[in-house]
Each structure stands twice: as C-alpha cells, then as structure tokens.
C-alpha cells in the first residue's frame, strides 16, 4: 500500500515541488494540499493521511499549533507530522517538536531524504535531518525555559547511552546498527527502552532530552 501524504505550505511553488517529488516515489501518494494551518488541520482530520508535512510559518494557525492539534499530548490517535522549514535555526522548530512532530527537514533536503523522512514517520519512527540536528537541537535545548529536567525511571546502560548519542546525532536505526556493530532488532530494542525510561513519545524527544541534559553536544 502507498503512503498517503498531506502537504501544508503557504507557498504554492513549494507545495507543487514537494508534491512532484513525493508522487514520483513508487510507494508514496500525495492526497491533499493546504495553504494555511486551519485548512491543514481540517484536511488532516478528514483525510487521515499516513504522514503530514507541515511548514512552520503559515497563515491562520501556524505549523506548531497545527501539529499540536493533531499530534500533541492528549490527542487521541495522533497523526504523524514532519516539520519542513527554510531555516536551520528556526526559532519555532523546538516548540514544534515538543508539540508532537516526529521530525524535521530543511526544504532543500533533497528527494532522497524527504522520502526517507516520510517512510520513517509512516512506520512510527522519526528522522531528523543530520545536517541540522546538532546545531538546532542544541541551540533550542539550551534556550528552553528553566525547569527541572525529567530523569530516567531507571539508569541508562552503557549501550543505551551510545544509542542515545547516535539518535541525537540524527542517525537512523540502520546507521546505528552499522556504527555499533549490533543488529537492527537490537537497536530497536534499545530505542524502545530509552523511550520507556525517558517517558518519550518518539526518538525526537529522546534527542531533545539528550541535548537538554548535556548528554551530547556539538563536540560529541
């Protein structure tokens, strides 16, 4: 079955370009386009796509509020949202991830990475563009409101710390498996354990926690 995608961006050329790229993929189909946040939420709820691609800055409610409305805490049957943005230091990206987005990409990420992000989100995983992961997450984690940071319900194992650092760098499960010389199923087990211990909904929140707690940094 093809992955059904909804695209929301206030620029028609961007919507058209993303749609052409995704429709060219044999396993992906664009089922709707929205030009503002209100329309994006309405279409998402009516079409129930497998993945929503939302721009951060849109008329009406922005990408953050649109994400929160369909994927935020307390939402029944949350949808998969990937944020797309022009700037790798967009001041709203951190808030969007906290609102429930499963990942983010730059609009010039290219067709291969765009396809990977859509497939990852559709499978319940998340992809953070490697070229912006460290700079953006570290920046916004360091400027997040001061508050006691959540601690793991159980201490992380040495291997979990390694997987944590790799996730925070934006590596996929396959890349982590290759780097740590472990099987893909073992990586998935460690990621699932991290989510449980950190009360994280997805790997994006795992990455955010890693930067917030200074477990990793740009020099890692």
- What's the pLDDT tens digit per position in 133-159? 555 566 655 655 556 667 888 999 999
Q: What strands, in cross-sheet order, belong to the sheet with 51-55?
A: 28-34, 3-8, 51-55, 81-85, 103-106
pTM: 0.71
Q: Find the distance separating the first CA and the last CA of the chain, reported in whole Å.
A: 40
Q: Which pLDDT band, with edges at 50, 70 and 90, does 162 fall under?
A: very high
Q: Is the pLDDT of residue 187 over 70?
A: yes
Tokens in use for 92? 């709203």
Q: Is the pLDDT of residue 219 over 50?
A: no
By the 8 A CB rule, do 127 and 116 touch?
yes
């Amino acid at each position: 079955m093809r992955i059904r995608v909804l695209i929301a961006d206030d620029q028609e050329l961007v919507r058209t370009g993303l749609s052409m790229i995704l429709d060219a993929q044999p396993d992906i189909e664009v089922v709707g386009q929205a030009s503002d946040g209100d329309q994006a939420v309405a279409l998402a709820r009516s079409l129930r796509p497998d993945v929503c691609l939302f721009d951060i800055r849109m008329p009406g409610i922005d990408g953050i509020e649109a994400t929160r409305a369909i994927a935020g805490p307390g939402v029944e049957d949350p949808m998969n949202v990937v944020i797309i943005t022009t700037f790798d230091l967009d001041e709203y990206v951190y808030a969007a991830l906290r609102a429930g987005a499963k990942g983010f990409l730059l609009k010039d990420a290219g067709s291969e990475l765009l396809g990977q992000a859509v497939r990852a989100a559709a499978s319940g995983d998340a992809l953070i563009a490697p070229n912006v992961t460290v700079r953006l997450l570290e920046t916004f984690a360091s400027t997040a409101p001061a508050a006691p940071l959540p601690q793991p319900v159980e201490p992380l194992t040495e291997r979990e710390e390694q997987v944590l650092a790799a996730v925070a760098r934006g590596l996929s499960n396959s890349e982590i498996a290759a780097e740590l010389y472990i099987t893909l199923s073992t990586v998935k087990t460690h990621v699932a354990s991290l989510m449980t211990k950190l009360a994280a909904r997805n790997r994006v929140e795992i990455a955010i926690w890693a930067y917030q707690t200074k477990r990793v940094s740009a020099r890692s």
